[in-house]
Amino acid sequence: MSSSERYERSLPVLLEELAAPRTPAYFDDILGQVDRTRQRPGWTFPERWLPMSAVSDRLATAPRVPMRAVLAAALLLVALAVGLALLAGGRKPAVPAPFGPANNGLIAFVDESGAIRTGMATATSFAVTVPGPGNDSPVFSPDGTRLAYLHPNAVGQLDIVVAAPDGRDARTINTDAIIAANFISWTPDGGSVAIESRPGTLFLYDAARPGPGTIINSSFSGGSVGFGDRMASVFRPPLGEEIAFLGVGPEGDGLYVIKRDGSGIRPLLTPKTGGLPYFRLQSPEWSPDGTRIAVTVQPAADPEYVMSIYVVEADGSGLRRLSPGCSGTDTSENFAAWSPDSTRIAHMRWCQRGDDPGVQPITVVDVATGVARGIGDVQLNGYNGFAWSPDGTSIIEVPGPPVDDRLQVLIVDATTGAVRRTGQSTEIPPTWQRTAPVAP
């Protein structure tokens, strides 16, 4: 007999033995434990207090949810969370690039009482955002989020103050003494404020943390740089890693470019470079795209006060006169201001005839063609300042003192020449805030 046959005959007997009722050896212990345990009071049962029929009527067996539906719901929740995060992030104000065209924001200027006023170009009145007296040289940061200005302190020196555009959260960023400032600007990244607080020396101050200034150039000449916020153009766009300055360098007194750390000085226009003899240079200004510099040149052979604007490439090549100037008369030009798109230059011009200074309106020149045209009114006493609007459609002007000594803030259409008088007056060039385009 095989082993499998023996197993088949024994199987019924084994099953019978396993099925027979048995009492476990620990049965008596279980009964003793139950006898010693106090039973649960009847009042603790919900059926004693609640109508269970009403409750049970509302209960139903939960339907079986397919796994596909569960996954779809999970994905929907994730998408909703991401959307809310993006919405929260979208509430942060957008800022424009440091250079190039941008939307027009607030105009800021110092009024006759020394207070800083701000308002849109279309405003009929401008609000006081920083009370006076004594405020000076307001200038918006390249991204339009802050306003830097000079303010006299209790010991008769100057503080560099950085505030929000509406004047709130103002804080002093310099801890050293500043007696005077011929120049103030922002670096293109908005991280620092630069001033010339000693003749020929450019200092840099951290815009976020108070501290002493750091010297970044000791041969700087900023007294004749330009007007208002255009002075920031000494930093090469878009990163500001190089500075254009007028001063004494390896090739004499001329126009140089140097890195912010003081290294890598290179000449652009000097007595040995450029092939253009000159008596004096003034007002260098980088184009917003960082490819060229405009500079005012008084040639050595020309009469006093006869000056012309020249343009030179960033590497020092391609030096050329911006436009032919006035026909048949001596031409004086100064204070070149690049349009935000780097295609035009606005400047002051005089077409002199004998004793007649030949005052012209602000002249706008197409950089590619040299074609020039005057826009706006003729101001007999010239201008205390002017600058392009961030969008490049207008020029804000502060004419020189009229008969009543009130310096009106004018806005001139750069295409039609139409003049709008804001009704405001200032002696200090305004600054125009750059803002980001509004999303459609």
Provide the 8-state DSSP code for 369: T
Q: What is the pLDDT of residues 109-148, one digit of tens each?
A: 999 899 999 999 988 889 999 999 999 999 999 999 999 9
Q: How far apart are CA 35 and CA 174, in angstroms?
A: 87
Please name which of 299, 336, 329 lies closest in space to residue 224, comparing C-alpha atoms. Answer: 336
Q: What is the pLDDT of residues 157-191, one digit of tens each?
A: 999 999 999 999 999 999 999 998 878 889 888 99
Going along 261-368, which residue ranges are E strands?
266-269, 278-286, 292-299, 308-313, 320-321, 330-338, 344-352, 362-366
Please name which of 384, 386, 298, 398 lies closest in space to residue 336, comparing C-alpha atoms. Answer: 386
Q: How far apart are CA 185 and CA 164, in angstroms?
A: 16
- Residues forming a β-bridge with 126: none
Return the structure tokens found at 151: 């303010």
Q: What is the pLDDT of residues 261-280, one digit of tens each?
A: 888 899 999 988 878 889 88
Half-sphere exposure in the Cβ direction for 93 (13 Å, CA): 10
Q: How far apart are CA 431 and CA 134, in angstroms?
A: 17
Contact between 142 and 99 (Cβ < 8 Å):
yes
Provide the 8-state DSSP code for 233: G
Q: How far apart are CA 315 and CA 257, in angstroms?
A: 9
Provide the 8-state DSSP code for 42: G
Q: What is the pLDDT of residues 342-375, one digit of tens each?
A: 999 999 999 988 778 888 999 999 999 999 999 9
DSSP H or E stretch at residue 140: strand 136-140
Looking at 20-100, list the stretches that DSSP marks H as alpha helix, in order from N- to C-terminal side: 27-36, 52-58, 67-90
Mean pLDDT of all residues belonging to the chain = 80
Provide the 8-state DSSP code for 10: H
DSSP letter for each residue of 54-76: HHHHH--PPPPPPHHHHHHHHHH
pLDDT band at 57 (very low <50, low <70, confident <90, very high): very low
